[in-house]
Amino acid sequence: MLPSLQRAVTSFYNLIYEAQAFATAMARIDTAEQEHYAGRIEGLNWVLDRCQELEDMDTNLTPTSLQRILGEVKSDLEHELSVQRREKGRRADGREEALNFVADYLSSLITATEIESAKTTV
C-alpha cells in the first residue's frame, strides 16, 4: 500500500481511539451526560469491530482491496445508522452521533482510496 494511504488509514484509527478516550474522560467529568458518552463509546467500539481487518492490514494491501473493505464497512455503517434512527432510546443519541462522526471521515478515506486506485490503474 502507498505510504500516504497507509498514513491516512492509521490516522483514521487514531481518530477513533482519541474520540473514545475523549468520550471516556467526559463521561467521568460530566456525570449528567454519562449515558450519552457511554453511547458514543459504544458506537466507536462498533466501528472498530467492523474495521478489524484494516487494523491488521498488510502493507501489500492494494488501493482496490482497501476500497472494497472500506465499502463494506460503509455499507455496514449505513445499515447500523438506519437501525439507530429507528430505535431511538438505549444510548441511541450518543451512539448515532459517534457513527455519524465516523461516517464523514470514512467517506473521505474512501474518496482517497478511489483517487489512489485511479492513479495506479493509469
Q: How far apart are the first and last CA of the chain?
A: 16
Amino acid identity for residue 101 in this structure: F
Give the count of domains, the chain.
Answer: 1
- Does pLDDT of 91 surpass 60? no
Distance CA 100, CA 31 (A): 23
- Nearest by Cα to 43 from 3, 4, 100: 100
User: Which domain covers residue 55, as residue numbers?
Assistant: 3-121
Reported as a single tens digit per residue, the pLDDT across 4-26 is: 888 888 899 899 999 999 999 99
Reported as a single tens digit per residue, the pLDDT across 32-85 is: 888 889 989 988 998 888 887 776 666 667 788 888 888 998 999 999 888 877
Distance of CA 72 to the CA centre of its chain: 12
